[in-house]
Amino acid sequence: MSAIVYRAAIVADAQALAKFAADTFIDTFGHLYPPQDLAAFLANSYAEQIQREELSDPAIETWLALHEGDIVGYAMAGPMDLKVAHAEHDRELYRLYVDKDFKGAGISHALMRCVLDWAREQGAGTLWLSVWENNERAQRFYRGYAFEHVGEHKFMVGATADRDFIWRLML
């Protein structure tokens, strides 16, 4: 296997990122939702225009993992969106996804290092995230970085409400 290349995403990546984001969400969670809820969520979260807006926002950072020019993983972080009490400079990890064929190759760790370095550069004292209550693999991964489970909230996929755990890492 050729090397994985990591870089910051740019606006020109919006179309490829939109496709990768939707595909990995479907691969991981698509079986959980009625088709209309899944379609609504994908349209409201991963459409190309939304990716373009997020990639254009200077407060949000996105990192890509590329294999032979194709996205095989990404992470996105930015200002707090979770509705929890937090300090002004705290940051949130919005997304960390790796293609199913590349899981276990260290990509998630490399992307997490990018996120942690960036959060510290931003002056964040805490990095927050939410993770689906039944995503044990992700929870093991975050525990490995000393994230702690501190609450929960509803994560909406269309009209379906998931129970997500809120985790934080003191930086």
For tokens 């990768």, the residue is: 20
Does residue 1 carry a pLDDT above 70? Answer: no
As a whole number of angstroms, the distance between CA 116 and CA 96 comes to 12
Q: Read off the pLDDT band of 2 (50, 70, 90).
A: confident
CB of 9 within 8 A of CB of 17? yes
pLDDT, tens digit, 9 for 90 and up, residues 77-104 = 999 999 998 989 999 999 999 999 999 9
Report the number of distinct structural domains present in the chain.
1
What percentage of the chain reaches a pLDDT higher than 70? 99
pLDDT tens string 19-46 = 999 999 999 999 999 999 999 999 999 9
Here the CATH number for the domain that contains residue 73 is 3.40.630.30
What pLDDT does residue 3 have? 92
Per the structure, the complete domain to which residue 9 belongs is given by 4-170
Residue 34 neighbours by CB distance under 10 Å: 12
Residue 124: the pLDDT is 97
